[in-house]
Amino acid sequence: MFGIPVPELVGYLASALVVASLTMSSVLRLRVVNLAGAVVFCVYGFLIDAPPIIVTNAVIVGINVWFLARAFTDRDYFSVLEVRPDSYYLGEFLRFHADDIRRFQPSFRTVPPRDCVSVFVLRNAVPAGVFIGVPDGDGTLEVLLDYVVPQYRDFKVGRWLYGPGSSFLTERGIRRLVTEPGSRAHERYLRRMGYRPEGSRYVLDLGETSARPGMMAP
């Protein structure tokens, strides 16, 4: 291809993957892409007969595999922490992440309404995301914001929140969630969490699963 030797093309591909991995905000994606880059670098090392490259990247492959295995098998402790809509910390959190929030849910405004339900989702006692919605008094809650910070976007927070963690909503008599898709990425997330399209909105009927305020989850 364009007169470039195959080993050199493989080397360029490996380099591109490693560089791309360093741009990932999600630690999980960083590990996956970096793993792919290290594997391709191993192939490159075999093609040019360079044992140091092979050994170094074989070690990197092993490190990435180990961390990925932990990411998928370790059990995290999740809980929700309800805060007032006018909480100073909530305001600071929303302002700090405002640009990233706009990428996924551009319609959200950083000042929540006074009658909303606002909670932090804690992962191992660290604020991993925030969930804000307005109840209509008839068992339905309009979700204004469901945001997870980049380093925790491995879907564990969402799976817990809409699974066993949804007890904090069902205990309030909320059985149905409705929300507007903010972006394509947000729409994919909603589908993955179990929402279904209904007109221009997405809807999720909550199950009867109940859970303690905090619990372990894989």
Taking only the tens of pLDDT, the chain with its 218 residues reads 556 788 889 999 999 999 998 888 677 788 999 999 999 999 999 999 999 999 999 999 999 999 888 777 777 899 999 999 999 999 999 999 999 999 888 888 778 888 899 999 999 999 999 999 999 878 999 999 999 998 888 778 998 999 989 999 999 899 999 999 888 889 999 999 999 999 889 999 997 444 444 444 44
Task: For residue 130, give every residue at least 6 positions away whose Cβ sits within 8 Å of its Cβ, in sequence order, or none.
Answer: 90, 93, 94, 118, 119, 120, 121, 145, 147
Residues 102 and 183 in one domain: yes
* Residue 162 belongs to some domain of the structure: yes
Residue entry with tokens 């074989």: 58
Long-range contacts of 198-204 (CB under 8 A, 24+ apart): 202/178, 203/176, 203/177, 203/178, 204/162, 204/176, 204/177, 204/178
63 and 104 inside one domain: no
- Asked whether residue 29 is domain-assigned, the answer is yes
Cα-based angle 18, 100, 26 (whole degrees, multiple of 5): 30
CB 164 within 8 A of CB 129: no
Closest CA to 146 of 187, 114, 175: 187
Non-local (6+) Cβ contacts of 139 within 8 A are 173, 174, 175, 176
Residue 64 corresponds to which tokens in the numbers above?
């990435």
* Residues 39 and 65 occupy one common structural domain: yes
Burial 162-185 (b: 16+ CB within 10 A, else e): bbbbbbbbbeeebbebbbbbbeee
pTM for this one?
0.70
Tell me if 120 is assigned to some domain.
Answer: yes
109 and 185 assigned to the same domain? yes
Counting DSSP H helices and E strands in the chain, the numbers are 8, 8
pLDDT given for residue 218 in this prediction: 42
- Residue 166 belongs to what domain range? 76-217
- Answer whether residue 1 is part of any domain: no
Looking at the fold, whether 154 and 170 belong to one and the same domain comes out as yes
Same domain, 195 and 122: yes
Counting the structural domains of the chain, the total is: 2
Same domain, 164 and 209: yes
175 with 83, same domain: the answer is yes
Q: Clarify whether residues 89 and 60 are in a common domain.
A: no
